[in-house]
Amino acid sequence: MNHSDSHSASYAAAGVDVTAGYEAVRRIKPMVESTYIPGVMGTLGGFGGMFAPDLNGMKKPVLVSGTDGVGTKLKLAFLMDKHDTVGIDCVAMCVNDIICGGAMPLFFLDYIACGKNDPARIADIVTGITEGCRQAGCALVGGETAEMPGFYPVDEYDLAGFSVGMVDEEKIIDGKSLTEGDVLIGLASSGVHSNGFSLVRKVFDVEHADLKTPMDELNGKSLGEALLEPTRIYVKAVKAVLGAGVDVHAVSHITGGGFYENVPRMMVDGLTAQIKLDSFPTLPIFSLIQKAGNIPARDMYNTFNMGIGMILAVPAVQAQAALDALAAAGETAYQIGSVVAGEAGVELV
């Protein structure tokens, strides 16, 4: 496609360079196409991304969608001038929600809004997005880059995404099969993921903090590196458990609101998730946050994932099979509690 005749001097004078947009597309096209899976129709550049799902073997396919952004974690990316991982976060926050219902993500779209279109930086962002899509096994079928001078500073941007997955209705995971005695399996997180960064930024005063010096408390990582660690994507992990024949009764993605907000979302009336806090290690970054901010333990568990990014509820007799499947898939997982009678939704003991 030739854009050589497309140029507006008046628009450029207002701060929008359409030719920079074309250069960004040129840079990211090979990365986008590297995510393509069976079902993708067409290529980058159309007005809408098309996908033809394989419905073979499905009795009643149900589409499951998720949308999210990266939040103020982006402020760390700006300060560190590192933009090639936040795209993983964006994909993760969407597809990890979709998998909670048992759906496998099919495709993803991104939205990047910036003060100035820097093609190299856009390519860095999309590097992360495409890596996230590959980890999730879904295709990046489209997106939008909006140059908005006067709305965003020239060196800042926002990033959001949207994903669609599919599951056969009879295989939806909705908590209706939960029963007293089910075992809770916690999947290890990679760090803070993409929630709680308004508190993180306040605690560390990140605009004035040393973000690049390695710290013993963080096992040799710098504060900036630890905070920018991308969100873990759990799609293939849950797929491995389901593929092992484990009857997963409920799933919770531990995002904003931590354990107290998210775990009750997978429970049903009359049942409570009882989680043993000594059953999994707290990651060093959370200990550092709690100490630096003098934050009460309950607030920590009501804000952060504390080292557990996703929880699966499975029958007790299948708990070991679930752990074995997760280990084979490269996941670190722990048996962190069980489902008990009660109305609290979650109890941390």
Q: What is the CATH number of the domain that holds 336?
A: 3.90.650.10
Residue 76 CA: distances (Å) to CA of 150, 172, 305: 22, 37, 19
Note the pLDDT of residue 30.
80
151 in the same domain as 213: no
Q: Give the structural domain span for 121.
A: 9-171
The answer to whether the beta carbons of residues 209 and 200 sit under 8 Å apart is: no
Q: Give yes or no: residues 244 and 302 share one domain.
A: yes
190 and 282 together in one domain: yes
Same domain, 159 and 267: no
Q: Which of 171, 192, 220 is the last residue of a domain?
A: 171
Backbone angles phi, psi at 115, to 5 degrees: -75, -35
The two three-digit tokens of residue 328, written as one number? 């084979």
280 with 336: CB under 8 angstroms? yes
The answer to whether residues 115 and 247 belong to one domain is no
Q: Helix-strand-coil percent breakdown of the chain, rounded to 5?
A: 35, 25, 40
Residue 173 CA, distance from chain mean position: 19
The answer for residues whose C-beta is within 8 angstroms of residue 329's C-beta and 6 or more apart is 236, 237, 240
Asked, for residue 1, whether it belongs to a domain, the answer is no
For residues 68 and 202, membership in a common domain is answered with no
- Specify if 4 maps to a domain: no
DSSP strand pairing (104-114 vs 157-168): antiparallel
Does 114 fall in a domain? Answer: yes
Contact by Cβ (8 Å): 261, 253: no
Task: List, run by run, the mean pLDDT of 10-residue segments along the chain (349 residues).
Answer: 55 61 73 88 80 94 97 97 98 98 97 94 96 97 93 96 97 96 98 96 96 96 97 98 98 96 96 97 96 96 97 98 97 98 95
Q: What is the pLDDT of residue 21?
A: 63
Residues 227 and 196 both lie in one domain:
yes
The number of helices, as runs of H, and strands, as runs of E, in the chain is 12, 12
Count other Cβ atoms within 10 Å, centred on residue 215. 16
| 207 within some domain | yes
Q: Where are the alpha helices (DSSP H) in the chain?
A: 9-13, 18-33, 73-80, 86-99, 119-136, 197-204, 223-228, 235-243, 258-262, 284-293, 297-301, 319-328
The residues facing 271 across adjacent strands are 341
Q: If we measure between CA atoms, which residue out of 75, 70, 64, 107 comes closest to residue 92?
A: 70
Instruction: Assess if residue 20 is contained within a domain.
Output: yes
Phi, psi of 67 (to 5 degrees): -140, 145
Q: How far apart (Å, rounded) are the C-alpha atoms in residues 261 and 41? A: 39
Question: For residue 266, what are its two tokens?
Answer: 């997978």
Within a domain: 178: no
Distance CA 228, CA 190 (A): 10
Together in a domain, 128 and 199: no
* Cα 184 off chain centre by: 21
For the chain, the straight-line distance linking the first and the last C-alpha, in angstroms and rounded, comes to: 61
State whether 251 and 330 are in the same domain.
yes
Task: Please identify, among 133, 151, 171, the residue that sits at the C-terminal boundary of a domain.
Answer: 171
Residue type present at position 30:
P
Q: Which amino acid is at 116?
A: K
Task: Give yes or no: residues 206 and 136 share one domain.
Answer: no
SS3 137: coil
Q: Are 78 and 72 in contact (CB under 8 A)?
A: no
Q: Do residue 148 and residue 207 come from a single domain?
A: no
Evaluate whether residue 177 is within a structural domain: no
Neighbours of 158 (CB within 10 A): 16
Number of folded domains that form the chain = 2
The CATH number that applies at residue 149 is: 3.30.1330.10
The residue among 171, 206, 237 that closes a domain is: 171
Helix (H, G, I), strand (E, B) or coil at 95: helix
pLDDT score at 6: 54
pLDDT computed for residue 14 by the predictor: 56
Q: Are residues 163 and 278 in the same domain?
A: no
Residue 176: inside a domain: no
